Structure formats: C-alpha cells, structure tokens
Structure 1
Amino acid sequence: MVVESLYGLLRGLIYGTVGFFTVMLLSIVYRYFTNEKLSSFIGILFGLGFLGFSGGLLAILDQPTLGGAMEIVAVSIFIVWGVNTGDKIAEKIPKKSPGSILDSFRGGKPEYSTVKLPSSLLIYDIVGKPRVPDSLKAELSEREFNLPADLPLEDIANRVKRRLITDWGIGNVEFELDQEAKVIHFAISAKERGLSPVIPEGSVAIPIECRVIPSNLAAGDFVKIFLENNEVIERIEVKGVNEEQRVITIVADLWLLETIRGKKSSLVVALPYFEPTQSIISVEQKTGEIEDFKFQKIINSLKKVGDTDELAKNIVTKVQAKLCKMDPPISTRLIKAAVVEEVKKENPEAAKKLKKTETVGAKIFLKSLGLGVKI
C-alpha cells in the first residue's frame, strides 16, 4: 500500500507539473482579456480533463486505489496553484490588446483613456469634513488611471472615485471632469473617526446642555452661545449635536472649560458660514512649475512703496476677489495685471511709477512680489 501511494504521488507530481503550466497559461489569457480571475473549480476540471485525456483518469475510475486518490489530490493542488500564479502574472501585464498596436498605425480610436489627477497643490479639502494628511495628497499627486475609452464621463468619474475610496481609504471624494476627461475639480476628505483626531493640542471637547437649540443644527455649524451666568461664547464651531437631550459639543481651549463647567446655555444662535479668504494660491511660473504664492507678499511690497497698512489690505482684498474666481494654477502675468490695476485705482502716485515699467522703482516693486520685473 505504501509503494502504491508513493507511486500515485509520483504520477500526481508529473501530471500536476504539466497541468500547472497548462492552467497557468490559460489563467493568464483569461485574466488578460476578461480582467477577471479564472475560477479554481474550472481550472481543476480542466486539469483533471487533461489527466483523463492521457488515459490516467479513466484507469483510476475503473480501479479505484489509494494511489489513484493521491494522484488526483496532487494534480488538483498543482492546478489551483497554477490558477493563482497565472492570475498574479496577468495583473502585472499592461492591459493592451495586440490590436491596439495596429490601431496606432491606422490612427484608430484608442481603447483606453488616461485620467491624470492634478498636482498635490490642487487637491483640495472638502469643507466641513476631516482633512487627509499631506503625505496622502503627495501620493495621489499626478497619479494616472487607465480606463476604457468608450465609457461615459460619469462612469469614468465613478470608477476613479471607487478606486480612491477602496484603495486609499478616502472618506469622501468630489471629482469633476470636462468633456476631454481632464480633471477640473478634485477634493477629498478623510473618514470620520470620532472627536479625538480633530481636537488640537491644548483643547478639549466640551458638552453643553441647552434649554433650546435651533432646528436642523448639525456638526460643522457655527454658533454663538449665551450661558445662564451671562457669559457669552462668541463664534465657535459645533462638533456634535444630541437633539433629544439638547446637548451640543464644542471644541475649545482648556481655560474655557473652567468658565462653563456645570453651566447651562439659555440660548444658542446659529451663525452664517463665511468661507475664509484664501491667503495662499497656486501659481504657475513661466517655467511651468507650480508654486504657492502668499498674498502677504503683496501687502509687504505695497507698504514699501508708501501705501498704508489699511490701503494695502484693501488692494489685496480686491486682488483676491478677482483671482479666486479663476481656475488655479494662476499665471504670474494675471497676478501682476490685477495688482497694477488695483494700485492705479487706489494710489495714483504709485500708479504713475508703475506705468513706466522700465523705472527702477517698478522693477524693485515687482521683484519684491517674486513675480519677475516685466509687466
């Protein structure tokens, strides 16, 4: 019996090795053209069919023995191994059919379209949602996705969203494409993870019991809180709401904890949300490089040419209003033009200097902005 078992195992190794390479090749071809894994059950049937074609399976079925059973088990193990190995190899092969090479010579329509994510500087955060780390934005920067060219834009966007959520663990994705499948808006947020990750160092989450709260109040709203001891908590963000118990949760500094400990709120007023003005924008230099540009540079430069702090901030506010309506990255030429135009309106004396672009004063002014010396 031992000899018979060893003989069956040896035959299983021989037939299994042949079946391994045969099924592995089949698995590669199947995965390449269908983008799906070949079923192990189908692979086993194919491998045993190969064994039966050689006459071994019929002989085993006619006279069942322990050696025959060992042979079938060994062949099955090799077949499953071949299916998995072929699937892994096929995943690493570029998904292009042989016909795509001929299509490139014929000028035919490509079978795949490429969606390229923007630079990390143009990956935005979703308002009111937890932020993702900068390292994740750097990892996603300019990453490319290859998708079938015949898909509608909506399906392409949905597939990219699904990949981002499943492969990178992103919580929410805002993703928009133009008619040429180029990304025009991309914003992401992390998954909700409770309070601790959003509490800055030196702050605590404080629950406040309220007599009455506004209807539909939700996390992310800004409120003004009037306490029973006549203390007032000015504009602060709500992190959680329990409508049944009329309790809201805020995140505040430690010193505020002593002020409101054991105090109830007599009134909670919801405040409008003001989107903060961008202090930094993405700028495209003449070299094509994308950099951060701080508006504080303009304020400092305007002060140097004689503008007051209030006037400089007023000019910058108007420049911001213009530039924030444009799609980033913004060219340095547009920033120069916006600054010069507003300076002409607010400070005619400085405008006279700027009209002569070759004067030393104008060169120094523009160079101080980090935007070059030619308008």
Structure 2
Amino acid sequence: MFERDVNRAGSARRARAACGALLLLATGSAAPAQAPDPRILPAQPAYARNAACAPLRIAMPPGTHRLPGDALISPKPAEIPIGQGDTAICFAYATADMISQRVGRAVSPLDVAGKFYFADPARLEGLPDPALRAHLRAHPNHAADIAWSRNAADINPVGNPGLQPYFDKLEGGEEDAAALLYNLDGLCEERDLPSHEGYAHFTPTYAALRFGAPLRAPNQCLRRVGATVGKLRSRGADAFNDAWLARVETLCRRIPLPVPLLPVSTRVAANQLDFMAMLEAGRPPAPRDITRLLARVDYALDHGRAPTIGYSWYILQDRDPKDPDLAADHSSAVIGRRRTAGGCQYLVQDNTGEYCARMRPDIAGRCDNGRVWLREDELRRTLYSVIYLR
C-alpha cells in the first residue's frame, strides 16, 4: 500500500485466498520477547543486504492460543504459530505476527481482520501521535489505498449463495493497510479474542448472527460498518457485521499501543498471480529487484523487526491437480536468518496448520513446529513483497 513499486490501477487483482499450510524448523527455542523497542526507524533508510548473512532470531511474544472448547494444544502455544484453520485471511495472521513482535504482546488476528475490513480510515487523522501524523502526511493517498485494498477482497460463496459480505466470508487483504488501521482503538490480545483454527471458536456465534441478521437489519446502527467500501456492505451483512464487531468489543480488554504502527511496503508485483503473469509474459522481475526486496528483509531483521513477505505456498508444497488456485498467494512473517554451506536461509513463520510431512521432501527436512528455513534461491522464485514496521 505504501511505497508501492507497481502501478496498481491497471492490475487485475485477486485477493489472497489460498494461504498455504504450516511451515516449520527452528534451531532451539527463541528468547522471551522483550519490551517494545521505542525507536522509530527512518522513513527512507539506505537498504543493503547483510553480506555476511549474520545469524539472528527475532524474539516473538509467547503464544496464548488454545483450541476451541479450551482444549489444550500440544506442542505448547509458545512453541507453535497460531493457525488460521480454514480461513483465507493469511494477511491478518501474518500482520498480527508482525504487530505482536513490535508491541510485545500476542495480538488477535481476528481483530486485525475486523479493523482492516471495517475500521474508519478517516479516524487516523485524529490520532495525536506525532510520528503517525508525519507518516500520514508522507502518504496522502492512504485512504484511497485502503479503499482499493478492501475492494480487492473476495467473498466466499460456500454456505453463502447470496454472496453476502459477512465477516467470516471475506477473503484476502493487505498487510500494510491492516497494520496502519490497527493504530485505532488499541490492541486486542489473542487470549481475549481467540483466533487459533480460524473462526472455529465462534462458529455458533456466526450461525446465530446469520439467522438473526434479517430481523435486526431494519433497526441496525451502522456506526461500526458505515465507513467501509460498498463491496463490503449490504443490509443483511451490515447487521451481521455490526453485531460481530459489538461482540468483539465485549470480549477485548483493549490496551493502548505502546508504539505507533508505521508500515513500509515494497513490492515488484501486485500479488502472486500478477507475479506469475509477469513470468509468462517474459517480463520477470529483474534479479536486482528481488535483491532489493531481500535487502528490506535484512534491514528489518537487523533492526529488530519481523517483516512479512508475500510469496507462493507452492514453494513448500506441491499443488494438488484439483486445486483451482494457480497462484497460492501467501503471507508470512520472517523471524530469523542463518548461513549454511548452501548459502543464506530465512526462517519463515507460517500460520496455516499444515504438517511438515506434507511438504516437499527437501522442505520437510527443514521444518519443525510451524516454522521453515527457506533458502534464498527458493524465495527468489516467488517473492514479490516485503512489509515491515518502522
């Protein structure tokens, strides 16, 4: 969204829907997450690769997630990433990881998604933080970018023949827009609004809201959903979404953000499908452009930030011939780096819940508990975006 390297106006964009499966392998356990770094990184730094591929591991806040019904998880939540289940909102899970690392608390991905789809971007202008105000002045098109991102979302037709934009039927989103909108109203922790296994904790809630939405529609209050784009609104869906957001507010014990969330985004393609179209047209991104993305990853890691990357899930797992998704557009946080005899590798934290045994054999050997070491040459094949928080 911010500092785009492509002209999105002409891009035929698909929202992210196929969001891969659990990536995996780390060397040892990470140190406990530290207090939030009060520094605000420069808006336009000099990016460069870490030539030595110096090893490091970004500390993440301990996980608090649980299974529906309060069943215990094995391994422990602190040892595995939160999983998105059957949702198609990997952007919210990756963004939540990025924000959680920045603020030192495990943030709820469902809350991240709710703000992305429905929060009023005009309210950002009223926030007093000077760094955020300077960031908004430097990106005067942020409201239009957010609207564009919302209009790129898809609506899941399964159990939804009328294609109503119910919250739990929305798919796809943008990490930078989601991070910026999360400056509003304070953070909601995962322990308050559980998101492990996607919507599974709230299946009865959604069923009740869907049944009752037509009854509430004539008398609904639109203050929670009225500022989003027309694509995400209808009479029945407004009632459903407004009631869901009200439910979120009863569950979330919101905490003020300790630092402003200032996203920096760089990309060589609009999404994975656009990246593939560039390859098919004989216009692949220049190697120097991918190097430039990796320099952003190195910069973020070297300055204590966990960036998110846009790439293809098919790096990790073969495509099922019956899968209609040709791109498998995916988003994950990067939380480590190491050098091996084969070159530089990056530790990617996934959020989908897939097992290592289902990965490609060479990938499976680098997997453990929701994290995978990817070689630089593997990332270069499909990497198209990098987002980090200043």
Normalising by the smaller structure, the TM-score range is: under 0.3
Instruction: Give the TM-score taking structure 1 as reference length.
Output: 0.19
Instruction: Give the TM-score taking structure 2 as reference length.
Output: 0.18
Q: Report the structure, 1 or 2, having the larger helix content.
A: 1
Larger Rg: 1
